[in-house]
Structure 1
Amino acid sequence: MKRVIPLFLLIVIFNTCCFGQKKQSKIPRTRVSISIPDGYSLMPATTGLQKDDKQGIIIMDLVGGNYYTNAKDFNKRTFELQGINVFSCEETKVDGYPAKVMVGSTDDKNYNSISLVFGDTTFSTMISSIHKANDKALENSLKETILSVKYNKEIVIDPFEGVGFTVDTLSTKFKFGGFSSNMYVFTPIGKNGSTAKSMVILTPTPFDGSLTQEQVSQMAINGLKKHGMYGFKTDSTENCQMDGANALTKIGDCYAGVNHMHHHQLILLKNDLALIIYGMCDHKNEEMKAEISEFCEKIRIKD
């Protein structure tokens, strides 16, 4: 499968090893439980499992989503149009819910992928993994593991369960507005995240030191461009240390549709975690620009 870039950053490129089955374990910040393969552990930055920087399983649980809408284009033809060689694509059931599962190639010929989507009219969950192309036994084991996941609608999700960062929403106007998988939205008091003109979006992602701050910054901006933003201009750039994290700040303006926006990008790198923070507001709103700067200055990566 071609690697998917969420709003900000590429998250996974994975390798292989042997898997064993264990008892079902809940994945933090989701309603999903899975039998964790031997040698795997919870990802510190996003919702999923990892063994090393080239091996893992990503779980994206969209509560409030609609399986029938989201899975409409989950078919062989759609994947093939993306350049994927599809080995199998079938409908099935996962924990009693309708599901579709696909096994196919990736943009690295040495690896194949398994992708699953399941749900109903109230949620849509997608699970993706990467495995070595010539290891059929591993592929079968992974597919069995993914198809055996459990989903508990009664779980109340804590969006900050096990996260590797802290934010200060007490001394600024920005409050938590919502999250999806590894993307957190903060908006001014009383503003809904879907309608607010001012917001800060925070995306944690694994970091292995292979990219520079500037490369992470450019990948994040490229992700925004794929979502319709354009005309990025940077007026100031600053490199510094923030509580032990390497920090890169870029401030300037851009466009979202016809709207001329102020943009404030902050990249924090520390240990094995990267935080990609993006704030935006109307380019003439000086008060909100200051609020965004103050909010960003108080974001920290945990030790």
Structure 2
Amino acid sequence: MSDAALAIHTEGLTKTYGATKAVEGVDLRVPVGSVYALLGTNGAGKTTTVRMLATLARPDAGTAEVFGLDVVRNAGSVRSLIGVTGQYASVDEDLTAQENLMVFARLIGARRLRARQRADELLAEFGLAHVAGRAVRHFSGGMRRRLDLAASMITRPRLLFLDEPTTGLDPRTRVQMWNTVRDMVNGGTTVLLTTQYLEEADQLADHIAVMDRGQVVADGTADELKARVGDNCVRLDLCDPELAPVAAAACRPFTQEDVLIEGPERRVVVPVENLDSLPELLLRLRAHDIDLKAVNVERPTLDEVFFALTGETETDAA
């Protein structure tokens, strides 16, 4: 991919605080018009990376460009192209939604009438027109996050940084935020998203970089990352759980790994590299007079990808 097709291009990006390397040698290539996710736990280096790209922190080593502009030498020009939404709402609780957006518009030089027009446009776009005159202190968490996103879109930035935008939101509001992000991308905005939520990266991102201890330990699409972890699993629910050992023995020729019998339901789990063998496997079970209630094929989850790539266990994460 040519550099002209990249919204972000970094090589060896590094930031050190004292003896701690918060970001160490990060290389990123973010295509224009995509959603690119930085996935990692607290302390992985995601926010520090965003701060450098958004010209809020100076790199100690390496290079970073936004639409071909160096973030250090051309910081002013970079700022005119980006919007930033941090982990916590930056709006004023004592002002109304409309007043908040008007303040942001006036700060970038809009006259009062244009500031009001732009505020009203964004309130409608983000589903907040009905609360335009309500003080923000009376907003729910989801409404505040949407208002924060609206504020970052005052100038319709070509690149939007979303630093853990759904932290603390309930599942329904999180889905609403995802739909809002999709709408912005459809409107031409490139999004760099940092998140701890594996499902969020899976749902939104065209490309994912997994960060751990300041480094990118893997990157690719969600499907590519899942393929690195292991095989598909065929889960078999038997009509007669007592036949689980017989079913497991019948399935062993179809896998290079162990066939498992899980839980009180005695579900048979068969890791398979190639799903082309599934019809033959089912015929083999039929030949052994084993009736099935359900057959489910599951790929590795992004959770399993993350734990495998970072070396964490599910207990560590909890």
Normalised-by-shorter TM-score class: under 0.3
Query: TM-score scaled by structure 2?
Result: 0.23
Query: TM-score scaled by structure 1?
Result: 0.24
Structure with the largest fraction of strand: 1
Which structure's CA Rg is the greater one? Answer: 2
Structure with the largest fraction of helix: 2
